[in-house]
Amino acid sequence: MSEDVKEVQTEAKQDMPFTPNEGKNLVITTDDGSFERYPVKTPIIKSGDDLVALLNELVRPYLQEGDMIYMSEKILAISQGRAFKIEDIKPSRLARFLTKFVYKSP
């Protein structure tokens, strides 16, 4: 990668319009090192939306060599049509019975 490209990418990263969610930090330190998390404000995701195109539009301009992108399972499930409104879910008799043996943490 040329020095000009690295310089432009470094400038872009400093000018990112991302701010942490309330109560969250952009930099997370673990035993494996420090990581920067940049939440990306997206339009409402619907079934059939092209997440690759969305990432190319919203994230690619800020990527630097070695960066990794992570996406929540929830947004992926929604785009694949695997998310349902709670009122549309009809648990079976067995499922209702089994809930008596499951502890739901707060």
What are the tens digits of pLDDT across the range 58-98? 989 888 898 888 888 999 999 999 988 899 999 999 999 99
In this prediction the pTM is 0.58
What pLDDT, on the 0 to 100 scale, is given for residue 47? 93
Residue 43 forms part of a structural domain: yes
Encoded tokens for 8 = 């432009």
| pLDDT recorded at residue 16 | 61
Confidence of residue 2 (pLDDT cuts 50, 70, 90): very low
Interior angle at CA 42, CA 26 and CA 46, nearest 5: 135
pLDDT tens digits, one per residue of 37-61: 888 888 999 999 999 999 999 989 8
Q: Which residue has the higher pLDDT, 45 or 18?
A: 45
Residue 97 lies in a domain: yes
- Number of domains present in the structure of the chain: 1
**Using an 8 Å Cβ cutoff, are 37 and 19 in contact?**
no
Other C-beta atoms closer than 10 Å to the C-beta of 86 total: 5
Q: Could you tell me the residue range of the domain that residue 53 belongs to?
A: 3-101
Residue 17 confidence (pLDDT): 66
β-partners of residue 35 are 28
84 found inside a domain: yes
Is 78 domain-assigned? yes
Q: Identify the pLDDT of residue 57.
A: 92
Q: Kind of pairing, strands 27-30 and 33-36? A: antiparallel
In a domain, 106, yes or no: no
Write b or e for each residue in 23-42: b if 16 or more Cβ atoms lie within 10 A of its Cβ, otherwise e: eeeeeeeeeeeeeeeeeeee
